[in-house]
C-alpha cells in the first residue's frame, strides 16, 4: 500500500530518517558486521590485531562437544517450553472465549506474568523450586533426593522450562484470545444450530481459523526462548549443573565475556543469528499469507 | 453461549480457576515468603500464613541491594528507551510513508532487517562499540584514508573516542536501535486518509507542520501503546545493563537482584531475596495493570 499524496521536498524526507539510520548503523550494522569479521579472524582479547583464519572458528566450534551440548540444550528448552506455553495459553484462551461469567476477570489477570522481568521470575521460581526450602522440599522429605536442580541436570532444565513457560503462557493467551474473538460469532452459532457440539466446533471451525496465530506464536516463542532465557538461566542455574542448562545465548556470554574468546563467541553469534533469521523469514512469509486471508 | 452445556461450563470454570491459581501463585508465594523471618521461610513446608517481618525484610533487601538508586536508574533507562523509540520511530515512519526519495526502498529494508537480530546475539561486538562509540567512524576514516589526509593537511592526528560504558546513553541508545516501533507507526500512517494530507497542503502547511499538527495528535493511541511496551521491555532488560554497568552507580534494579541470591552454606535468606524480588516485580506489574488496554492493543498491533 502506498500513499498517493506525498511531500515533494525529499531532503526533508531523508532528514527525518537520519536519527534512526545513525543509530542502527552504530549499534546494529557495525556490531553485526564486526561479529562477521571477528568470526573469521582470531581476535586477541586486548587488541594487538587479528589474524585471518577463515572458517577455522566455525570448525573448532562445531568440533566442540560443549557446543553441541548447548545446541541440544537450547532445542530441548525451546521445544518443551514452547509446547507447554502454547498449549496452556491456547486452552485458557479457548475457555475464556466461551464468555461465561468471570471471563473478563481472567482476561485481566492471566496476562500479568508477561510484565515480569525474566530474572525476577527466575528468582521467584528458584525459591519455589529450591530443594531445601519452599515446596519441593516437602516432596524431598517424602522421597529423599527426588528433586535437586543444583545437582541433577534434568531437574535444572525442568526448572528453567517452568519459569519461562509461566511467563509466556500470558503472552500466548493474549494473542490466542484476540484470534478467537476475531472469529464471527454467527459462524459458531450457525454450526451450533446444525447440531455440532463444542469440541466439534473447536476442531472444525475455530482451530483452522486460528492456525495463522498458532504459527506466528510458534516462531515468536522459539525465537524468544533463544533470547529471553538468558536472565532465567543466569539467575536459576548459571548454565549448570555440568552444562546441562548452558543454552546458546548463555554460552555466547560466558565464552565471550568470561572466557574472553571473542572469535569463538562471534562465530556462535553468527550461527544463532542465522538460526533466528531463518525463523523470522518463515514468520514474514506467514504474515503475508495471512494478509490474503482477510 | 449458544446452547446449554452445564457440565462443560463447570469444567471451563474449573480449568480457568486452576489457570488463575497457577498464574497468581508465584506472586503470592513471593509476597508471603517476603513476610517471614529467617527460620519460618526455611520451614518445610513453609507456612502459607503471612509472617510479621514484611517491612523489615523489605527494608533489609532495599539497603542490601541498594535498590533506591537502582530503581531510579531502571526508571531513567526505561523512560529513556520508551521516549526514544516513540520519537525516533515516528520520524522514520513519517519519512518512509510520506516522502518519495531515491533510495527509500533501500532505507526501508535497512530498517526492516534490524527486526531480525536481537541485541543478545550481537552482544560482544555491541559492547565493543559502546566502549568507544566513535570507533566505527574512526575505522571509516582510517580505511578511506581520510585520517591520513587530515593528518597531512592539518597535522592533527585523528583519534575519535567516546566511551559510553557506565552511562545512561550507553544503557539507552543501543536498545533504541531496532525498528520495532517504526512498523507500528507505518501501519497506522498508511490508514490516515490522503484527503487530510491534501487539505493540509492546500492550506499551505509544509511537511513539518503536517507532521506536528496533524499526524502526531492522531497517533496518540499508538504512542501510548508503543511507549508502554517499550517501557516494560526496557525495564526488564538484563543482559545489556549487566554488561555495560561495570560500576554500581548505573546498575539497574533487575541486575541487582543477583546480589540477593542466597549463598550456599548457612541458612539461605530467602525472605530477603523474595522481598527484593517483590520490589523489582512491582513497577512493571503496576504498569501492566494500569496500561492494560494500551499494552494489549499495542502487542497485537505490533505483532511482537
ipTM: 0.85
Chain-centroid distance of CA A89 in Å reads: 15
A108/B contact by beta carbon, under 8 A: yes
Q: Most confidently modeled of A67-76, B48-57, B246-255, B292-301?
A: A67-76
A120 vs B282: CA distance, rounded Å: 10
Q: Tell me the pLDDT band of A292, cut-offs 50, 70 and 90.
A: very low
Q: Decide if pLDDT at B290 tops 50.
A: yes
Cβ-based neighbour number of residue B57 at 10 Å = 26
What is the pLDDT, as a whole number, of residue A286? Answer: 67
Residue linked to cell 529471553: A228
- In B87-106, the residues whose Cβ lies within 8 Å of chain A are 88-89, 91-92, 94-102, 104
Identify any residues that bridge with B99 across adjacent strands, giving them in sequence order.
A7
CB contact, 8 Å: A205 with chain B?
A: no
CB-based contact A173:A93 (threshold 8 Å): yes
Cα distance between residue B13 and residue A101, in whole Å: 9
CA distance linking residue B62 with residue B68, whole number of Å = 7
Q: Any chain B CB within 8 A of the CB of A111? A: yes
Sign of CA dihedral B162, B164, B168, B170: positive
Give the confidence band of B90 by pLDDT, cuts at 50, 70, 90. Answer: very high
Which candidate, A61, A118, A47, A37, places its Cα nearest to that of B122?
Answer: A37
- Residue A48 backbone class (left: φ over 0; alpha: ψ -120 to 50; beta: rest): left
Minimal CA–CA distance to A17: which of B296, B150, B90?
A: B90
- Report the helix count and the strand count for chain B, using DSSP H and E: 18, 0
**Angstrom distance (rounded) from CA A212 to CA A232:** 29
The per-residue pLDDT for range A79-112, each reduced to its tens digit, is: 999 999 999 999 999 998 887 888 888 888 888 8
Q: How confident is the model at residue B156 (pLDDT cuts 50, 70, 90)?
A: confident
Calculate mean pLDDT across residues B192-215: 88
Cα dist from A286 to A134, A218, A283, whole Å = 44, 11, 5
Q: Is A238 on the interface with B (CB under 8 A)?
A: no
Distance, C-alpha A221 to centroid of its chain: 4
Q: Which residues of B are less than 8 Å from A166 in CB distance?
A: 22-23, 26
Which of A276, A39, A128, A141 is closest to B30 using CA atoms?
A: A128
Question: What's the angle, vertex CA B271, arms to CA B269 and CA B277, rounded to 5?
Answer: 105
Chain B nearest-CA distance from A98, in A, is 7
Q: What is the pTM of this model?
A: 0.87
CB proximity under 8 Å: A 8-67 to B: 9-17, 19-21, 23-32, 34-35, 38
Is residue A37's pLDDT more than 50? Answer: yes
Q: What mean pLDDT do residues B226-244 have? A: 90
Out of B129, B208, B270, the one facing A26 most closely (by C-beta) is B129
Measured CA distances, B206 to A2, B5, B202, B211 (Å): 20, 61, 10, 9
pLDDT at position B303 over 60: no
| Residue B302 predicted with pLDDT over 80 | no
Decide which of B33 and A137 is more confident. B33
Least confident of A102-106, A132-136, A182-186, B189-193: A132-136
Joined together, the cell numbers standing for residue B182 give: 517504526
- Whether residue A12 and residue B207 make contact (CB cut-off 8 A), yes or no, is yes
Which helix (H) or strand (E) covers residue A180, if one does?
Answer: helix A153-182
Strand, helix or coil at A18?
helix
pLDDT in tens, B91-119: 999 998 888 888 888 888 888 888 777 78
Name every chain B residue with its beta carbon within 8 A of the beta carbon of A91. 15, 19
Is A113 within 8 Å of chain B by CB?
yes
Specify whether the CB–CB gap between B300 and A179 falls below 8 A.
no
Tell me whether A125 touches chain B (CB under 8 Å).
Answer: yes
Under an 8 A CB cutoff, do B129 and A27 touch? yes
Quick one: A15 exposed, middle or buried, by C-beta within 10 A (0-12, 13-18, 19+)? middle
For position A159, what pLDDT does the model report? 93
Nearest CA among A263, A274, A273, A269 for reference residue A40? A263
Q: Please name the residue of chain A whose CA is at the shortest distance from the CA of residue B301.
A: A175
Cβ distance A10 to B101 less than 8 Å, yes or no, reads: yes
Question: Is B98 in contact with A13 (CB distance < 8 Å)?
Answer: yes
A252 near B CB under 8 A: yes
pLDDT score at B304: 41
Which pLDDT score, from 0 to 100, does residue A39 have?
Answer: 86
Q: How far from the centroid of its chain's Cα atoms is residue A66's Cα?
A: 22
Interface of B with A in 227-256 (CB under 8 A): 232, 235-236, 238-239, 242-243, 254-255
Cβ proximity of B187 and B158 under 8 Å: no
Within 8 A of A251 by CB-CB distance, chain B residues are none
Higher pLDDT, B35 or B142: B35
Number of residues that this document lists for chain B: 304
Does A287 have pLDDT greater than 70?
no
Distance of CA B154 to the CA centre of its chain: 44
Strands (E), chain A: 41-43, 50-52
pLDDT-derived band at A72, boundaries 50, 70, 90: very high
Q: What cell was used for B297?
A: 492493543
Q: What is residue A234's predicted lDDT score, i.e. its pLDDT?
A: 92
Residue B61 CA to its chain's centroid (Å): 24
In chain B, residues with a C-beta closer than 8 Å to the C-beta of A253 are 123, 239
Say which of A98, A138, A249 has its CB closest to residue B45. A138
Distance from chain centroid for Cα A126: 20
The average pLDDT across B247-256 equals 87
Q: Which residue has the cell 542502527?
A: A24
- From the list B107, B128, B257, the residue facing A120 with the nearest CB is B257
Amino acid at each position: 500500500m502506498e500513499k498517493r499524496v506525498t511531500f515533494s521536498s525529499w531532503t526533508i524526507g531523508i532528514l527525518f530518517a537520519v536519527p534512526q539510520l545513525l543509530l542502527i548503523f552504530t549499534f546494529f550494522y557495525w556490531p553485526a558486521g564486526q561479529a562477521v569479521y571477528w568470526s573469521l579472524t582470531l581476535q586477541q582479547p586486548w587488541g594487538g590485531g587479528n589474524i585471518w583464519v577463515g572458517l577455522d572458528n566455525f570448525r573448532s566450534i562445531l568440533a566442540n562437544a560443549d557446543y553441541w551440548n548447548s545446541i541440544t540444550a537450547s532445542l530441548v528448552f525451546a521445544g518443551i517450553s514452547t509446547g507447554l506455553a502454547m498449549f496452556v495459553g491456547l486452552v485458557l484462551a479457548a475457555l475464556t472465549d466461551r464468555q461465561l461469567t468471570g471471563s473478563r476477570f481472567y482476561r485481566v489477570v492471566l496476562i500479568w506474568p508477561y510484565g515480569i522481568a525474566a530474572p525476577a521470575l527466575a528468582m521467584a521460581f528458584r525459591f519455589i523450586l529450591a530443594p531445601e526450602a519452599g515446596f519441593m522440599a516437602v516432596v524431598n522429605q517424602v522421597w529423599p533426593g527426588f528433586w535437586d536442580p543444583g545437582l541433577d541436570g534434568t531437574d535444572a532444565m525442568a526448572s528453567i522450562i517452568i519459569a519461562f513457560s509461566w511467563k509466556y503462557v500470558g503472552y500466548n493467551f493474549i494473542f490466542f484470545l484476540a484470534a478467537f474473538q476475531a472469529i464471527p460469532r454467527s459462524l459458531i452459532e450457525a454450526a451450533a444450530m446444525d447440531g455440532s457440539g463444542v469440541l466439534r466446533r473447536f476442531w472444525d471451525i475455530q482451530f483452522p481459523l486460528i492456525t495463522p496465530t498458532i504459527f506466528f506464536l510458534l516462531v515468536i516463542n522459539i525465537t524468544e526462548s533463544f533470547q529471553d532465557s538468558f536472565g532465567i538461566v543466569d539467575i536459576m542455574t548459571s548454565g549448570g549443573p555440568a552444562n546441562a542448562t548452558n543454552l546458546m545465548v548463555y554460552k555466547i556470554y560466558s565464552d565471550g565475556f568470561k572466557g574472553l574468546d571473542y572469535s569463538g563467541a562471534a562465530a556462535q553469534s553468527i550461527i544463532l543469528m542465522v538460526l533466528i533469521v531463518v525463523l523470522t523469514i518463515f514468520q514474514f512469509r506467514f504474515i503475508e499469507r495471512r494478509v490474503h486471508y482477510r | 453461549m449458544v446452547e446449554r452445556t452445564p457440565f462443560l461450563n463447570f469444567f471451563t470454570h474449573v480449568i480457568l480457576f486452576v489457570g488463575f491459581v497457577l498464574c497468581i501463585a508465584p506472586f503470592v508465594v513471593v509476597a508471603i515468603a517476603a513476610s517471614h523471618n529467617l527460620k519460618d521461610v526455611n520451614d518445610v513446608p513453609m507456612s502459607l500464613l503471612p509472617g510479621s517481618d514484611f517491612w523489615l525484610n523489605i527494608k533489609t533487601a532495599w539497603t542490601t541491594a541498594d535498590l533506591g538508586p537502582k530503581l531510579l536508574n531502571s526508571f531513567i533507562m526505561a523512560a529513556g528507551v520508551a521516549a526514544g523509540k516513540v520519537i525516533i520511530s515516528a520520524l522514520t515512519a513519517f519519512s518512509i510513508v510520506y516522502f518519495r526519495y531515491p533510495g527509500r526502498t533501500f532505507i526501508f529494508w535497512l530498517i526492516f532487517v534490524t527486526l531480525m537480530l536481537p541485541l543478545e546475539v550481537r552482544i560482544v561486538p555491541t559492547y565493543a562499540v559502546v566502549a568507544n562509540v566513535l570507533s566505527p567512524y574512526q575505522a571509516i576514516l582510517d580505511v578511506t584514508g581520510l585520517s591520513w589526509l587530515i593528518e597531512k593537511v592539518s597535522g592533527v592526528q585523528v583519534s575519535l573516542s567516546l566511551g559510553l560504558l557506565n552511562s545512561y546513553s550507553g544503557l539507552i541508545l543501543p536498545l533504541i536501535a531496532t525498528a520495532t516501533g517504526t512498523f507500528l507507526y507505518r501501519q497506522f500512517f498508511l490508514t490516515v486518509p490522503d484527503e487530510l494530507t491534501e487539505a493540509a497542503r492546500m492550506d499551505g502547511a509544509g511537511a513539518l507542520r503536517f507532521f506536528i499538527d496533524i499526524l502526531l495528535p492522531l497517533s496518540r493511541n499508538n504512542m501510548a501503546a508503543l511507549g508502554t511496551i517499550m517501557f516494560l521491555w526496557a525495564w526488564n532488560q538484563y543482559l545489556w545493563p549487566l554488561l555495560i554497568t561495570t560500576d554500581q552507580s548505573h546498575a539497574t534494579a533487575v541486575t541487582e537482584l543477583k546480589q540477593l541470591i542466597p549463598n550456599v552454606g548457612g541458612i539461605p535468606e530467602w525472605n530477603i531475596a523474595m522481598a527484593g524480588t517483590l520490589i523489582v516485580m512491582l513497577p512493571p506489574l503496576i504498569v501492566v495493570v494500569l496500561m492494560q488496554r494500551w499494552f494489549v492493543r499495542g502487542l497485537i498491533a505490533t505483532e511482537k
